Chain A
Amino acid sequence: MEFTVKSYRFNPEIDEKPYYKEYVLNDFPGMTVLNALMKVKAELDGTLSFRRSCRSAICGSCAMKINGITKLACKTQISSEIEKFGIIKVDPLGNMPIIKDLIVDQEAFFDKIKEIKPYLLGKKDYIEDDFKALKDGEKIKQPVYYKTEFQTLTGNNDTPNCILCECCYSECGGVVANPKYLGPAALAKLYRYSEDPRDNDKNGSRLVNGSKPAGMFDCVLCQACEEFCPKGISPVKTIVKMHEKAIKNSITFSKGAKHIIGIARSIQETGRLDEIKVAVDSVGISGILNDLPVAIGAGLKGKMPPLRLKLIKDMEDIRVAFKDLNLEEKHD
């Protein structure tokens, strides 16, 4: 079968702007996108630049956008792409600056991995907890879930299997929203270490640092990391587990934690999501004032939610759930 590879091309040293170049190839059984690119480079155009090494979905080098979705080129079959899209359109990874053609600058990604301290903390080097969420000597409460339960919950327990391929990072909505956001791979690692009983994290500093701005509460929950990880890891599920663990350990200084608690309390009180209460709980009155132009714009259109919400029918049922789980608001 004859097919076309349409590749993003850009060499900042000579090109004024990026362009696409097309190459026509013939496939062979089992041909991958990486096979195709290597064929282009060997036979048609030696200037096409891309990263690759293992050719067997292990090293994580060959991630790129294939027909709009970030995948490993060496793990992606030509036949299935052609069947679905009729072409092989390749672009460099998203959320990263482009160096040349399909090669991106990965520095920010690896800085973020380093930032979460991806190693077991020893006796001496526990992370400074500048928020002092826990008192001296106080220990973080252990996982709300046992490992096996987490395994059934996510279908995997494989965060250590991450190959740092950046597929998740390239698709991550959180990084688009906030380029400083740590991103899925780093946060999945943070989870992996925060759950490790050998880790000498004396004062919950991993969760505290992870709760800072641009940390785990900047996830927009778009689910792209779980969907597109070639190793079956679900960074978003680990992020949500950390949300739960942080809140259960009273590490609630972040707007994101306050937002989640606000929603839970609104449900506890009315059975519904009270948009105003949640906004006030998450960002405070000053935050609301910042948002006033939006609020007024919406208000004029009759969009403001009602100030007092009616309770749902059989509201008592919901209170029973909170009570059963010992989740009622404690005023201390």
Chain B
Amino acid sequence: MINYAYYPGCVAKESGKELDNSTRFIAEKLGINLVDMPEASCCGGGVIDGFDHNLKLYINGRTLALAEKLGYDILTICNTCTLTLSEVNEELINNPEALKKTNDYLSKIGLKYSGKVKVKHLLYIVRDEIGLDKLKNAVTYSLDGVKVAPFYGCHILRPSSVVKFDDVENPSGFEELIKALGGEPVSYVRRTKCCGFQTILVNEVTSTSLAGNAIYEAQQNKADVMVTPCPLCHLSLDTYQGVAAMNINKELSLPILHLPQLIGVALGGSYAEMGFSRHNISFRAVMSKIKQNKLK
């Protein structure tokens, strides 16, 4: 068992519950102990420093301090949470003034941060800590014959001065994981582009073209399914897929999975356990194909 301070973020607790549930499902199968932090707050959704930079330091410094108190590194399942917590961590570690300021606040609420916590996304915990061999051995339903388009999104890769999991120009972690599950990764240019989520409420119509273009390109490359490590990307790609299709004037119909759902299916998770009925675009057809690939 590896212990992690579990930081699901807000969306996985609200509209994206299937992400939280599937994460817990695979954690158990892979020997990850998710230690809840009910005190943890929202990271600020990627925009909080546009409100007040110190607030970003304080509330995320608090989350880091909570994990430090538990003695575990943080496991995230959202790109934007990963970047925000990593940015704050970097700043607190490298800027004594920022750390002092933050600790002055933390002392008022009985906490302290000394910079010991690492922030890691589930994708790279599975690749680096669990290991792809172990993952491969745990597979009960191979993704053999399934073409999977990985959609990295932004904040798990950029800026690479802060999130250092993969090669920002040519990442491979996602592809390796898909192969370990028996699937075939689809290569397409927009796998590392933005999903447009941050301005969906500002520019409802046009911003969905980003998601639309990515889905269309993956479809053109014969993807059966697209997978994302970020629930915000998932909202753009799945919930807004119909709007995106209208916007770019193309037919789109590609099931979009959260990363742990894809792993979960390969580890034997059922349609209901993975919460697929909560998605806009049905995964049924692909799922029945996978169910024929029983290994053990």
Do the beta carbons of A264 and B52 come within 8 Å of each other? yes
A301/B279 contact (C-beta < 8 A), A223-B158, A327-B55 known: yes
Do the beta carbons of B158 and A224 come within 8 Å of each other? yes
Which residue in B49, B155, B197, B201 is a CB contact (below 8 Å) of A283? B201
- Give complex CA distance A243, B56 in Å: 14
Which B residues are in CB contact (< 8 Å) with A221?
46-47, 154, 198
A321/B55 contact (C-beta < 8 A), A176-B210, A282-B201 known: yes
Which residue in B54, B62, B194, B242 is a CB contact (below 8 Å) of A297? B242
Do the beta carbons of A297 and B201 come within 8 Å of each other? no
Main secondary structure of the interface of B (DSSP, over half): loop
Which A residues, 301 to 321, have Cβ-Cβ distances below 8 Å to chain B? 301-306, 309, 312-314, 316-318, 320-321
A178/B206 contact (C-beta < 8 A), A244-B49, A309-B14, A324-B108 known: yes
- Give complex CA distance A324, B103 in Å: 12
Do the beta carbons of A173 and B51 come within 8 Å of each other? no
- Give complex CA distance A327, B49 in Å: 13
Which A residues are in CB contact (< 8 Å) with B280?
297-298, 301, 303
Do the beta carbons of A178 and B189 come within 8 Å of each other? no
A313/B38 contact (C-beta < 8 A), A176-B213, A244-B51, A256-B202 known: yes
- Encode B189-226 as 1/0 by CB contact (under 8 A) with A: 10001101111011110110110010000000000000
Do the beta carbons of A177 and B203 come within 8 Å of each other? yes
Do the beta carbons of B277 and A267 come within 8 Å of each other? no
The answer to whether the Cβ of A44 comes within 8 Å of any Cβ in the partner chain is no
Main secondary structure of the interface of A (DSSP, over half): helix
- Give complex CA distance A155, B91 in Å: 11
Given contacts A174-B199, A227-B158, 7 further A-B contacts (CB under 8 A): A176-B210, A218-B199, A240-B49, A244-B49, A248-B52, A260-B47, A320-B108
30 contacts between A and B (CB under 8 A): A68-B169, A153-B53, A176-B210, A218-B199, A218-B202, A220-B196, A220-B197, A223-B159, A227-B168, A240-B49, A244-B50, A247-B50, A259-B47, A263-B42, A266-B42, A272-B42, A273-B10, A273-B11, A273-B42, A282-B201, A282-B202, A287-B201, A301-B279, A304-B15, A305-B15, A313-B38, A316-B109, A320-B109, A324-B105, A324-B108
